[in-house]
Homo-oligomer: A and B are copies of this chain.
């Protein structure tokens, strides 16, 4: 069905432009279908968002795989992936990564796993080559990346787009070996984000 695709596309655009709380009717309008048609394809709003998330995660995973193939330098691959993921607006799915939407959904879980694996291979290569500090994990990058590219609420447009890539560069510079500082706690895991955790105030 052509409609299903148009809905997902519209949803992605609106989520990215207007934040996570766009009215469903506006998504439908953008897709050029009636609102009830959305419900014919997705049982509820969450499911639609999941679909978008899975779609974006797939494109981001693609990006990671392409970077692994095409970039010679292992850390350059990490940089390229990071910036491309930002352009895919991975930040719009931040809430999902954090388990706000149920990541137990098989499709979501699968997409996440594929993404993690793709990025992990970038990490392994860079860390093995000594091009990246060894005390960080895949989820550290994914979470920080998601937060840094997360759109602001309000209809207009994420005002900080202008600066996102600057901040990613800073983060990446910090990721490139050797480390200047010790990282507190243990490496992040996406699983670890599933449930509330006490704030551990480790420092310097």
Number of copies: 4
For A182, list chain B residues within 8 Å (CB): 169
Bound together, the chains give a CA A98 to CA B200 distance in angstroms of 28
Query: Which of the listed residues A166, A180, A194 has the most CB atoms from chain B within 10 Å of its own CB?
Result: A166
B161 and A181 contacting across the interface, CB-CB below 8 Å: no
A200 and B162 contacting across the interface, CB-CB below 8 Å: yes
Which of B20, B79, B98 lies in contact with A160, CB distance below 8 A? B98
CB distance from A73 to the nearest CB of B (A): 10
A143 in contact (CB, < 8 A): yes
Interface size class of A (residues with CB under 8 A): 35 or more
B159 and A197 contacting across the interface, CB-CB below 8 Å: yes
B185 and A166 contacting across the interface, CB-CB below 8 Å: yes
CB distance from A89 to the nearest CB of B (A): 10
A72 in contact (CB, < 8 A): no
B162 and A95 contacting across the interface, CB-CB below 8 Å: no
Interface flags for A162-196 (1: CB within 8 Å of B; 0: not) read 11011101111111100111111101100011111
B143 and A167 contacting across the interface, CB-CB below 8 Å: yes
B140 and A199 contacting across the interface, CB-CB below 8 Å: no
The residue on B at minimum CB distance from A203 is B83
CB distance from A189 to the nearest CB of B (A): 9
For A76, list chain B residues within 8 Å (CB): 204
Bound together, the chains give a CA A160 to CA B96 distance in angstroms of 12
Interface flags for A6-36 (1: CB within 8 Å of B; 0: not) read 0000000000000011000000000000000
B174 and A173 contacting across the interface, CB-CB below 8 Å: yes
For A150, list chain B residues within 8 Å (CB): 147, 150
For A162, list chain B residues within 8 Å (CB): 185, 188, 192-193, 197-200
Bound together, the chains give a CA A150 to CA B77 distance in angstroms of 28
A1 in contact (CB, < 8 A): no
